[in-house]
Amino acid sequence: MSTGRIFDIQRFSIHDGPGIRTTVFLKGCPLRCLWCSNPESIDPKPQLSYLPDKCIACGECFKVCKSSALTKDSDGKAVVNRARCANRGDCAPVCDPKALEMVGRDVTVSEVLDVVLRDNDYYAQSGGGLTLSGGEPLLQPEFAEKLLHAAKNRGIHCCIETSGYAAWDVFERLKMVVDLWLFDYKETDPNLHAKFTGRELETIVERLRQLHDTGAKVLLRCPMIPQHNARREHLDGIVALSRKLPKLVGVELLPYFDLWRGKLKRFGLATALPDTVKPPSRETVKSWNDYLRDRGVRVVG
């Protein structure tokens, strides 16, 4: 019985492929994007989430913490020492207000499919289905393959959102059960790509080309981050790439949003992305899309 590690299942998603979808978020990612919208997805292991505002200073967590990672503040509330925390999760079950929770759990294919099938009627009416996201779903190829096979056997449309950073044999293993690939393309300049994501660009572009050349349906999705990749040069790079890949379903620009920053404190994480980076205006996003359309790019959204 194949199991996978996920950190969330989101029903009624409308931004992760066509129609109304159920998005399953898998844990673990090889990239370290400065603007990662799901920072809790990066580490493949379960992680402790702490929301101090929910803490009622009951003291139950201190009794069970075996790594002495919890101390009290002046109000008796818990303070997490992340350097000491082993992410065992002993504190989470005794925290009634759910100030402390473990994020990341192991699930079976049948457990996930049971949730996915609850909205089968909505998929049929809207052209929706199942999307695997993350993190990077291709880091768990066996689980992804079995889950997608199970969904396809029930007539469900399947998408994968990927950074493209995986061995080609993983793509080959999955491409027969994926109806649409949501392929992230984050930066054109190789040096900046390494700076922004922690990984080299060459492998990602090669996987994109290989996938395209097999006839797979691919939607190129491009996050646009002000002061970083939201530049004319990157837009020109998207134009040039799309011309080399004429069978693309299209290009979708994903404007930056900053709601993810609140997650950093929950998990004791940090980012090098300055606070001065703000979401772009609607007019700016429109100008980006118009720029691509004027140059013959099939823009989605």
User: 102, 119, 143: which is the final residue of a domain?
Assistant: 102
* 246-263 per-position pLDDT tens digit: 999 999 999 999 989 999
Considering the domain architecture, whether residues 289 and 235 belong to the same structural domain is answered as yes
Domain check: are 193 and 224 in the same one?
yes
Specify the pTM. Answer: 0.94
Q: What digits encode the pLDDT tens for the residues 123-161? A: 999 999 999 999 999 999 999 999 999 999 999 999 999
Is there a single domain that holds both residue 31 and residue 62?
no
How does DSSP classify residue 65? -
> Are residues 130 and 94 part of one domain?
no
Q: Do 218 and 283 have their domain in common?
A: yes
Same structural domain, 63 and 81: yes
- How far is it, in rounded angstroms, from Cα 118 to Cα 107? 17
**Do residues 67 and 200 both lie within one domain?**
no
CATH number for the domain harbouring residue 209:
3.20.20.70
Boundaries of domain holding 87: 48-102
Residue 300 domain flag: no
Q: State yes or no: pLDDT of 301 exceeds 90.
A: no
Domain count, the chain: 2
Note whether residue 260 is domain-resident.
yes
Average pLDDT over residues 189-212: 98
Same domain, 15 and 152: yes
> Are residues 26 and 65 part of one domain?
no
Ramachandran quadrant class, 103 (left: phi over 0; alpha: psi -120 to 50; beta: rest) = beta
Report, as an integer, the average pLDDT of 57-67: 95
Decide if 62 contacts 70 (C-beta within 8 A): yes
- Domain shared by 127 and 175, yes or no: yes
